[in-house]
A and B are shown apart, each in its own frame.
Chain A
Amino acid sequence: MGLAKRIIPCLDVDNGRVVKGVQFVDIRDAGDPVEVARRYDEQGADEIIFLDITASSDNRDTTVHTVEAIAGEVFIPLTVGGGIRTIEDIRTMLNAGADKVSINTAAVFNPEFVREAAQKFGSQCIVVAIDAKKVSKPGEKDRWEIFTYGGRKPTGIDAVEWAIKMEEYGAGEFMLTSMDQDGVKNGYDLGVTKAISEAVVIPVIASGGAGNLDHLVDGIKKGKADAVLAASIFHFGEHTVPEAKQYMADRGIEMRL
């Protein structure tokens, strides 16, 4: 009897609507975030991640209200990400009812921000989002690099070294997105997931690329992830959370059923 592996549906929210695009283009509408979050809660999701993908300052209030509305109805952990750049941004989201915040670009430009945030609010609520892309050529030793701006800008930072550094700075968990795989539904990048999961002691959420239930199983079994994040396979009714959990449990993964 151990710790259950987690299934985390992800809501990418643009201007108050859940959307899902393939590698950040071809956006499809998937509904009202409060309704979608409630549905996943009822289905037995283990957590919910809310990513504000507009993240422009004029939409901040909409995001705060939506987070408040979700937190008033959904009693499982809620992580909010997108545009978290200052201590004040974190405080605002925690006060709105988020349990954790996810920091991405701000950590890359200013790693000290992660240290400061963890000291102020505790590591348990600081998720560091890592967007990685494979940069090694076929035949070379595997190497992944951190990318920013939705996978467009390379940073020259080695993804595994970055994870080790962020853990030292006080990150409580990683959300690891493979930018090659995001939205294309070919499965997670298991190589980078396993490399990071084995290099650090904090939990890793595999993200980007889940297209079927075997991908979720592989993320845990081969990628050594502690949790799997998925969006499209749940949003458009291909699969439900209980169906996914049962499928994983049947393959020997401990789940909360």
Chain B
Amino acid sequence: MQTVAVIDYGMGNLHSAAKALEHVAPEGMKVLITSDSKVIHNADRVVLPGVGAIRDCMAEIRRLGVDEMVKDVVKNKPLLGICVGMQVLLAHSEENSGVECMGLLPGNVRYFGRDLHEDGEHLKVPHMGWSRVAQSDHPLWNDIEDGSRFYFVHSYYAQCEDRSLVAGTCQYGVRLDAALTRDNLFAVQFHPEKSAACGLKLLGNFLRWNP
């Protein structure tokens, strides 16, 4: 039986992600919410969700050894990072006066600031709602029209230093990285589990992805 492990490190809403994965999982595939390193090690694919403050997220990730698990997982199976689960994969975040992250992707997580503008309009922060994502070629975008809207909610955004790893971008006052990928790893700033049909399609593509 195929299994998908959704890593539970006590931060955020795993239920939404798990329910959406169950909704699109092929028959016989099981979705497990877990922090057990053995279960994660034996899973066929792994999802790293996350919401809330990044300092607390990183503290729990280190305390539970999730960073080591993730580094191990990406050597040989697909991993999907979502929202803060994407941000923790970068090297550093400006949030909470500066937090060192896992460094699996080169780059930083920056604050939008309170004075964000576009076309003369003052933009709200957090960036909350449905924005278009410009895609680059990747199997996780299969059957999703380029420029489709996904649901975002965040005040900090990723900027990857290696532009060849960028799989999707979004414009919100700045050009932010909406999707990053490297080998077995795919990470998104938006919430596919809350992005209606396009989000479910992306999760379905992840469950069938064989990098």
Q: A residues within 8 Å of B by Cβ?
A: 1-6, 41, 44, 46, 71-73, 75-77, 94-97, 99, 119, 121-125, 172-173, 201-203, 226-227, 256
**A4→B195 CA distance, assembly (Å):** 13
> Chain B residues with Cβ under 8 A from A72's Cβ?
19, 23
A214 shortest CB reach to chain B, Å? 22
A95, B200: Cβ atoms closer than 8 Å: no
A46 shortest CB reach to chain B, Å? 6
A3, B131: Cβ atoms closer than 8 Å: yes
What count of chain B residues pass the 8 Å CB interface test?
A: 39
Contact flag A97-B16 (CB < 8 Å), given A76-B194, A202-B125, A227-B129: yes
Task: Mark out the residues of chain B between 94 and 141 whose CB falls within 8 Å of any chain A CB in the assembled complex.
Answer: 114, 118-119, 121, 123-132
**A226→B210 CA distance, assembly (Å):** 40
Q: B residues within 8 Å of A by Cβ?
A: 12-13, 15-16, 19-20, 23, 51-53, 114, 118-119, 121, 123-132, 147, 149, 151, 153-155, 171-172, 191, 193-196, 199-200
**A121→B195 CA distance, assembly (Å):** 21
> Chain B residues with Cβ under 8 A from A202's Cβ?
124-126
Known: A97-B13, A203-B129, A226-B128. 6 other contacts (CB 8 A): A2-B121, A3-B131, A4-B149, A44-B196, A75-B193, A99-B194
Contact among B16, B51, B131, B191 with A122 in the assembled complex (CB-CB below 8 Å): B51
> Chain B residues with Cβ under 8 A from A2's Cβ?
118-119, 121, 131, 171-172
A201, B172: Cβ atoms closer than 8 Å: no
B15, A77: Cβ atoms closer than 8 Å: no
Specify which of A96, A124, A172, A256 lies most central, judged by the most chain B CB atoms within 10 Å of its CB.
A124
B128, A122: Cβ atoms closer than 8 Å: no
Chain A contact residues, majority secondary structure: loop
B144 shortest CB reach to chain A, Å? 14
B47 shortest CB reach to chain A, Å? 15
Nearest A residue (CB) for B22: A72
**A3→B119 CA distance, assembly (Å):** 12
> Chain B residues with Cβ under 8 A from A4's Cβ?
129-131, 149
> Chain A residues with Cβ under 8 A from B23's Cβ?
72-73, 75
Nearest B residue (CB) for A98: B13
B151, A77: Cβ atoms closer than 8 Å: yes
Give me the 3 closest cross-chain CB pairs, A-B, nearest first. A122-B52, A4-B130, A256-B130
> Chain B residues with Cβ under 8 A from A227's Cβ?
129
Contact flag A172-B128 (CB < 8 Å), given A2-B172, A124-B153, A124-B154: yes
> Chain A residues with Cβ under 8 A from B147's Cβ?
1
**A44→B199 CA distance, assembly (Å):** 13
Contact among B13, B114, B119, B129 with A99 in the assembled complex (CB-CB below 8 Å): B13
Contact among B51, B131, B171 with A124 in the assembled complex (CB-CB below 8 Å): B51
A90 shortest CB reach to chain B, Å? 11
B126, A124: Cβ atoms closer than 8 Å: yes
